[in-house]
């Protein structure tokens, strides 16, 4: 009962701070401070300094701002327009036609940007006007874009996987490789949904695009070459074992700068805008990580994670039941917190549970990303929903309804991951991955 009382105190202080508008990182520090002061004899200041310095001085964490900067640079190029032009001829013959450009475009851009919001904004500004002009249903335009943009969290480089890896001290490179196959499977599920819709709602599908010869398609595909080269440059260096995730992030920034320069998009203004944008996002995530590291230390002193893990163990849940319980738990948490905050806030408690259940940490990292993806399109705090509302000016309820089928497909993805765990573990186990 004492541990449940501790949990209640932690949650009360956390929601009190968050409810009064305190930044997430500072709120986590506040909860940790209360825990150390009330339940331990160690000076809270010393504990906080040690925890924050240990986390912030991690060399692995260097990959985070670099990948963010790479995405910011590309966001300011003509990449989105070129992607639509290169993809459209190849997507038009498929069932569902050009709606697939939303999904494939997000999949490609996810491989050069670890951010769901950056993926959504970049692909959305490309596809929404074009698909509207061609008469595609608004419901499908917005729904497929909302769901597919979450692939930015899974397909490497993924900011969420970097944060997860740093939090539990796991190889970032292995986590990146683990995200490749599940990301492609999830993208295939989204494309399958579009194909089924095109058969069931045949009357809503716009007329076919003008036919193009295979030679014309190949000529148009040249616009995809720059981004595909960048993807190969970044992911290939890790896949082949030539670079760690941190080194690959530096390669990515160099490649993005070269691409922007060749497109004529790189000038003094865009360079500093991308740098400042990356700095703002990196500082926000770093503050959350700092607060979470202090909270993890505080909870360790109180014994709360071990006690809760022991309580879960006493319930004798099977691994499948534990995964289902955690799925519901993270969906609820994701309704109120962003994905990165959800991960760092809960890992101190959840990690002992999965260790006790014998669940592979690499596999669990991919599971975490899938359920965090769900949170991105779940009201009231689904971040992708807010971005789409700003882009389309629709009501939040309408946007959430369009994303519901994609949410259900992500639930199916959790089941697929559990039934076929090799989807997440095959590449890390077989490729020459170096520690991140």
State the total domains in the chain. 1
pLDDT in tens, the chain (436 residues): 555 566 677 667 777 876 777 777 788 788 888 878 877 777 778 778 877 777 677 676 777 788 778 777 877 777 767 777 788 788 878 888 888 888 988 888 777 766 677 677 777 777 888 888 888 899 999 999 888 888 877 887 787 888 888 888 888 888 888 988 999 999 999 999 999 999 998 888 888 777 777 787 788 778 778 878 887 887 777 777 777 777 888 888 888 888 888 878 788 888 888 888 888 877 877 777 777 778 767 776 766 656 665 666 677 778 888 888 888 888 777 766 667 777 877 787 788 888 878 889 999 999 988 888 887 787 766 667 777 777 787 887 888 899 899 999 999 999 999 999 999 988 888 764 444 4
Q: DSSP string spanning 225-267?
A: HHHHHHHHHHHHHHHTTSS-HHHHHHHHHHHHHHHHHHHT---
Helices 396-419/383-392 angle, 10° precision: 140
Q: DSSP string spanning 143-181?
A: HHHHHHGGGGGTSSS-HHHHHHHHHHT--HHHHHHHHHH
Indicate whether this model's pTM tops 0.85: no
Q: Is residue 435 included in any domain, yes or no?
A: no
Q: Is residue 131 included in any domain, yes or no?
A: yes
294 vs 386: CA distance, rounded Å: 30
Q: Residue 304: CB partners within 8 Å, gap ≥ 6?
A: 3, 6, 7, 10, 349
Q: Which domain holds residue 324?
A: 2-430
User: What pLDDT was estimated at residue 305?
Assistant: 59
Cα separations (Å) of 109 from 70, 83, 159, 266? 11, 9, 14, 19
422 vs 412: CA distance, rounded Å: 16
Q: Is residue 43 included in any domain, yes or no?
A: yes
Q: Is residue 292 included in any domain, yes or no?
A: yes
- Does the N-terminal peptide bond of residue 380 adopt cis geometry, omega within 30 degrees of 0? yes
- Does the N-terminal peptide bond of residue 157 adopt cis geometry, omega within 30 degrees of 0? yes
Q: Is residue 139 included in any domain, yes or no?
A: yes
Question: If you ran DSSP here, which 8-state letter would residue 221 be given?
Answer: G
Length of the chain: 436
Q: Is residue 365 included in any domain, yes or no?
A: yes
Taking Cα atoms as reference points, which of 417, 293, 317, 347 lies closest to residue 28?
Answer: 293
């Amino acid at each position: 009962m004492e541990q449940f009382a501790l949990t209640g105190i932690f949650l009360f202080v956390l929601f009190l701070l968050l409810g009064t508008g305190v930044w997430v990182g500072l709120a986590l520090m506040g909860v940790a401070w209360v825990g150390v002061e009330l339940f331990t004899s160690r000076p809270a200041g010393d504990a906080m300094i040690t925890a924050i310095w240990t986390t912030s001085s991690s060399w692995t964490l260097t990959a985070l701002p670099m990948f963010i900067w790479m995405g910011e640079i590309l966001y300011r190029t003509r990449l989105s327009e070129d992607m639509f032009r290169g993809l459209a001829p190849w997507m038009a013959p498929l069932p569902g036609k050009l709606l697939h450009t939303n999904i494939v475009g997000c999949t490609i851009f996810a491989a050069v940007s670890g951010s769901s919001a950056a993926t959504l904004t970049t692909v959305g500004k490309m596809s929404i006007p074009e698909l509207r002009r061609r008469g595609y249903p608004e419901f499908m335009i917005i729904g497929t874009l909302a769901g597919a943009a979450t692939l930015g969290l899974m397909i490497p480089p993924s900011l969420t996987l970097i944060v997860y890896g740093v939090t539990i001290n796991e190889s970032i490179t292995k986590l990146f490789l683990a995200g490749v196959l599940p990301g492609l499977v999830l993208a295939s599920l989204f494309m399958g949904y579009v194909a089924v819709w095109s058969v069931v709602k045949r009357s809503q599908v716009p007329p076919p695009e003008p036919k193009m010869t295979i030679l014309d398609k190949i000529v148009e595909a040249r616009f995809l070459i720059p981004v595909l080269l960048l993807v190969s440059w970044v992911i290939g260096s890790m896949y082949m074992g030539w670079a760690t995730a941190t080194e690959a992030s530096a390669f990515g920034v160099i490649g993005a700068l070269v691409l922007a320069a060749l497109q004529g998009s790189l000038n003094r203004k865009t360079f500093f805008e991308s740098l400042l944008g990356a700095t703002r996002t990196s500082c926000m995530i770093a503050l959350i990580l700092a607060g979470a590291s202090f909270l993890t230390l505080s909870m360790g002193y109180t014994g709360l994670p071990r006690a809760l893990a022991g309580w879960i163990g006493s319930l004798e849940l099977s691994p499948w039941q534990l995964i289902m319980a955690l799925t519901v738990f993270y969906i609820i948490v994701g309704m109120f917190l962003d994905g990165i905050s959800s991960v760092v806030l809960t890992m101190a408690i959840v990690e002992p549970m999965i260790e006790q259940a014998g669940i592979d940490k690499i596999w669990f990292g991919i599971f975490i990303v899938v359920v965090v993806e769900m949170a991105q399109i779940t009201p009231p705090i689904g971040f992708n929903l807010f971005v789409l509302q700003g882009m389309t000016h629709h009501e939040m309820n309408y946007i959430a309804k369009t994303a519901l089928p994609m949410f259900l497909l992500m639930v199916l993805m959790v089941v697929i991951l559990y039934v076929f765990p090799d989807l997440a573990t095959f590449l890390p186990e077989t490729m020459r991955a170096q520690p991140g």
